[in-house]
């Protein structure tokens, strides 16, 4: 059986199948970048709307997923640039207040997670995006370069700079006697 990508995406039914196949993955990457559930939902939806509106210009140089992924990442970067002054609130998957006091390890892990999230949010938009795509999405350098329309060398440099800045940002937290486990 053929994969949905192998069909013509100008067929509404096929396009709908592609949306259903990739909507959760696109939402997850947007959420990691913008750190706001509602905005991530809107931006992911907007990415599919833009893909639908421009489906006739899809050249098949990459797969459908890579194409819509690139649209979603670009929309996320634009969102961050527009909202730089009023940074989106960090998404806290687990907060210390949601845990009982008898769980100090979980509280410490939640605190560390919040500090890591805050440090990632401090990164410049390009470095943040490269870091998220490489570290969390486990994308290879070449694919990140294609998604962001930059060179593979630029991806590596941005990732390296992001890691160095994260070490600096998290240095104070770790210097307070906390240990990453």
| Per-residue pLDDT tens digits for 16-71 | 888 999 999 999 999 988 888 999 999 999 999 998 888 877 777 777 888 898 89
Rounded Cα distance, 34 and 89, in Å: 9
- 73 and 111 in a single domain? The answer is no
Q: Where are the alpha helices (DSSP H) in 54-94?
A: 64-82
Which among 120, 178, 127, 118 has a CA at the least distance from the CA of 157?
A: 127
Residue 131 has which token pair?
């870091």
Indicate whether 77 and 121 sit together in one domain. Answer: no
Single out the residue in 33, 58, 89 at which a domain terminates.
89
Task: Provide the pLDDT for residue 102.
Answer: 46
Q: What integer is the mean pLDDT of 138-146?
A: 90
Q: Do residues 29 and 41 lie in contact, with contact meaning Cβ atoms separated by under 8 Å?
A: no
Please tell me whether residues 112 and 83 are part of one structural domain.
no
Residues 73 and 141 in one domain: no
Q: State the Cα angle at 91 between 163 and 166, rounded to 5°.
A: 15
d(CA 51, CA 30): 15
Is residue 61 domain-shared with residue 130, that is, in the same domain? Answer: no
Query: Is 66 domain-assigned?
Result: yes
CATH of the domain at 5: 1.10.1740.10
pLDDT of the residue at 178: 54
User: Measured between alpha carbons, how far is 121 from 89 in angstroms, rounded to an integer?
Assistant: 9
Say if 147 falls within a structural domain: yes
Which CATH number is 169's domain given?
1.10.10.10
Position 33 in a domain: yes
Backbone angle region of 60, left / alpha / beta, with phi > 0 → left and psi within -120 to 50 → alpha? left
Tell me, yes or no, whether 96 lies in a domain. Answer: no
Kindly provide the residue ranges of all beta strands, DSSP E only, lying in 24-181, ordered along the sequence: none
Same domain as 66, residue 13: yes
Q: Provide the number of structural domains found in the chain.
A: 2
Please say which residue of 89, 115, 148 terminates a domain.
89
In whole angstroms, give the CA distance from residue 79 to residue 34: 8
Which has the higher per-residue pLDDT, 157 or 175?
Answer: 157
- Which ranges of 35-63 does DSSP label H, i.e. alpha helix? 37-53
Shared domain check, 81 and 52 = yes
Instruction: Give the separation between CA 6 and CA 14, rounded to whole angstroms.
Output: 10
Average pLDDT on 99-116 reads: 65
Residues 83, 9, single domain; the answer is yes
Range of the domain at 129: 102-181
pTM of the model: 0.65
Residues 6+ apart with CB under 8 A from 9: 15, 18, 55, 58, 64
Domain boundary among 64, 89, 114: 89
Domain membership of residue 95 (yes or no) is no
């Amino acid at each position: 059986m053929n994969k949905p990508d192998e069909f013509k995406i100008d067929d509404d039914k096929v396009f709908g199948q592609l949306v259903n196949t990739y909507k959760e993955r696109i939402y997850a990457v947007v959420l990691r970048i913008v750190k706001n559930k509602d905005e991530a939902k809107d931006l992911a939806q907007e990415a599919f709307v833009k893909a639908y509106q421009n489906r006739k210009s899809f050249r098949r140089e990459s797969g459908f997923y890579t194409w819509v992924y690139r649209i979603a990442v670009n929309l996320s970067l634009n969102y961050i640039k527009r909202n730089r002054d009023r940074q989106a609130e960090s998404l806290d998957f687990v907060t210390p207040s949601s845990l009982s006091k008898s769980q100090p390890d979980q509280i410490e892990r939640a605190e560390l997670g919040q500090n890591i999230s805050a440090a990632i949010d401090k990164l410049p938009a390009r470095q943040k995006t490269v870091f998220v795509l490489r570290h969390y999405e486990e994308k290879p350098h070449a694919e990140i370069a294609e998604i962001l329309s930059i060179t593979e060398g630029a991806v590596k440099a941005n990732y390296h700079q992001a890691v160095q800045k994260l070490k600096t940002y998290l240095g104070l937290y770790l210097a307070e006697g906390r240990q990453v486990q």
